[in-house]
Structure 1
Amino acid sequence: MPDFTSDHDLAAWLAGQAGERLLHVRASSGLEGAELKDAGDEAAQEVLAGLLSAFAPTDAVLSEEAADSAARLSVDRVWIIDPLDGTREFSEPPRDDWAVHVALWERDRGLTAGAVALPARDQVFHTGPGGFEARSARTSTVGGADEPLRLAVSRSRPPAFVTPLQEALGADLVPMGSAGVKVISVVDGTTDLYVHAGGQYEWDSAAPVAVARAAGLFTSRVDGSELEYNRESPYLPDLVVCRPELADRVLEILSGLEL
């Protein structure tokens, strides 16, 4: 059996194992559309549930693909997982903008470990040493950039506030699927910021936010308040992830928009 020296290693391995199963389902099931989405969700959930039961048997789990239990509110360690983030993109081969999210929440510490696997790109970003690519060295700032900022947005359901935010920042839009892929695009320097409002849950952002924080990025809710996890309701509808030097300006703009 694998021997893990840290929760960072475990999170990365778990996400990678689920990703391998998803690639197999995508390549060999012969399914399409909604059936492929469902098969992916089910297969990745099966992998993560089984491995967490084996390697973290005393920890609780909050998953998009499993029934919630109030018991998680009284334990010290909770894994927050999204077995397949970006089901639409997963069901549209050869799209690669879908992900697996695995995060660990600990009482009085918040998010302490996390991993985002991008299986179709053969990448796993995580919170341990060497777990994320070096970010872009661009030093452009709002209002004085030689190049426009790059704003990650949903390719299929961009919220209404994106247009005024784009105009205020003078940004270029970079459409892509999966919340995890969008956050990782800021981590690896493909984009400069990602802002979402209008509906997400803890499993949509926990692992990406953990990785973004480890990479030194700014994260918050759209009003600037802290992103909190393992709450009674897992609904966590909005977030901001950006380069730290952009945070004040982005929050100022958002405060004047109807979200």
Structure 2
Amino acid sequence: MAETDGELAARLAAAAGDILLNLRQAGAFEGKALGQAGDEAANAMLCREIRAARPGDGLLSEEESDNVARLDQSRVWIVDPLDGTREYGEGRSDWAVHVALAVDGVAAVGAVALPGLGLTLTSDAPIPLAPANAPPRMLVSRTRPAAEAVFVAERLGAELLAMGSAGAKAMAVVRGEADIYLHTGGQYEWDNCAPAAVAIAAGLHVSRADGSPLRYNNPDTYLPDLLICRKELASDALRYAGEFVANP
């Protein structure tokens, strides 16, 4: 039986995670050199396997030169071989592998591997949402918390929870560890396509910070902002984010 897109995404994300874990455990590299070696090894496998399994689809990877032919294709795989290079190099667990398929600009299929936790979350098999935290927990960058996110957290009465990579933060909301992830510091399509697909399948609110939908396979791959949160928090989060923009 042919492998579905979701099965392919999950298998490859998990396999890339294994490559990264094995490389780190081997001890031949440290710090930034480890991150670079991990990016290269995981990317080589992901791109090779996607091209072999889906030769008619487009491909966009953080670690590959962009092929603009993807713009004429309906189905485009969008991958980040190592999201959270700093955390990976530091031996932390809050890093991820992203494998997604965008169809006509929509994040249709996604798998996010969290190798440090031994988990792979997918859009094909969403996990049930856990009960909301009280007070709500809001994720921010562990190195540079955005002023807008801090502002929204204060208005919501939310506790701040610092974490590493974008994928780890998004999956923390999916897993119920947190309730809201607002990012306004700038991302690219590979940073959030797979997390968005998994979060949508789990029943969460997913949008730009102004409430507009996320669109993929654009000529310019920069996506400056993102909101992933429980649906009951979305209206207030968007309103407060708008207040911050209007009165920074």
TM-score, structure 1 normalization: 0.92
Q: Percent identity?
A: 49
| Aligned partner (choices 40, 55, 69) of residue 38 of structure 2 | 40
Instruction: Using the TM superposition, give the Cα deviation of residue 4 of structure 1 relative to its aligned residue in structure 2, in angstroms.
Output: 4.4
Deviation readout 1:202-242 (Å, 9 max, x if unpaired) = 00000000000000100110111111000111000100000
| Aligned partner (choices 78, 88, 101) of residue 104 of structure 1 | 101
Give yes or no for contact 1:4–1:10 (8 Å, CA) kept in 2.
no
Residue in 2 aligned with 1:28?
26
Deviation readout 1:72-97 (Å, 9 max, x if unpaired) = 0001210000000000000011x110
Residue in 1 aligned with 2:146?
159
| Aligned-CA RMSD value | 1.3
Residue in 2 aligned with 1:137?
131
Call closer, same or farther: CA 1:26–1:4 in 2, change over 3 Å: farther
Taking the aligned partners of 1:224 and 1:133, their CA distance within structure 2 comes to 24
Residue in 1 aligned with 2:77?
79
Pair 1:193 & 2:185 matched: no
Instruction: Using the TM superposition, give the Cα deviation of residue 134 of structure 1 relative to its aligned residue in structure 2, in angstroms.
Output: 2.2
Taking the aligned partners of 1:230 and 1:53, their CA distance within structure 2 comes to 17
Pair 1:115 & 2:102 matched: no
Residue in 2 aligned with 1:64?
62
Taking the aligned partners of 1:189 and 1:110, their CA distance within structure 2 comes to 24
Taking the aligned partners of 1:166 and 1:75, their CA distance within structure 2 comes to 39
What is the one-letter code of the residue matched to 1:47?
A: M
Deviation readout 1:109-168 (Å, 9 max, x if unpaired) = 62211100001111000011xx23322123x7xxxxxx2110011111211223221210
What SS does the aligned partner of 2:155 have? helix
What is the one-letter code of the residue matched to 1:105?
A: A
Residue in 2 aligned with 1:257?
244
Taking the aligned partners of 2:66 and 2:27, their CA distance within structure 1 comes to 29
Deviation readout 1:164-200 (Å, 9 max, x if unpaired) = 2121011101111010010101101000000000210
Residue in 2 aligned with 1:88?
86
Q: Which moved more, 1:222-231 or 1:25-34?
A: 25-34
What SS does the aligned partner of 2:94 have? coil
Instruction: Using the TM superposition, give the Cα deviation of residue 15 of structure 1 relative to its aligned residue in structure 2, in angstroms.
Output: 0.4
Identify the structure with the greater helix proportion. 2
Q: Which runs of 5+ in 2 are unaligned?
A: none
Question: Structure 1 segments of 4 or more deviating over 6 A?
Answer: none
Aligned length: 246
Taking the aligned partners of 1:25 and 1:132, their CA distance within structure 2 comes to 29
Q: Which runs of 5+ in 1 are unaligned?
A: 141-146
Taking the aligned partners of 1:29 and 1:44, their CA distance within structure 2 comes to 17
Deviation readout 1:45-82 (Å, 9 max, x if unpaired) = 01101111211111111010000011000012100000
What is the one-letter code of the residue matched to 2:90?
A: E
Taking the aligned partners of 2:180 and 2:139, their CA distance within structure 1 comes to 6
Give yes or no for contact 1:113–1:210 (8 Å, CA) kept in 2.
yes
Pair 1:207 & 2:203 matched: no
What is the one-letter code of the residue matched to 1:92?
A: E
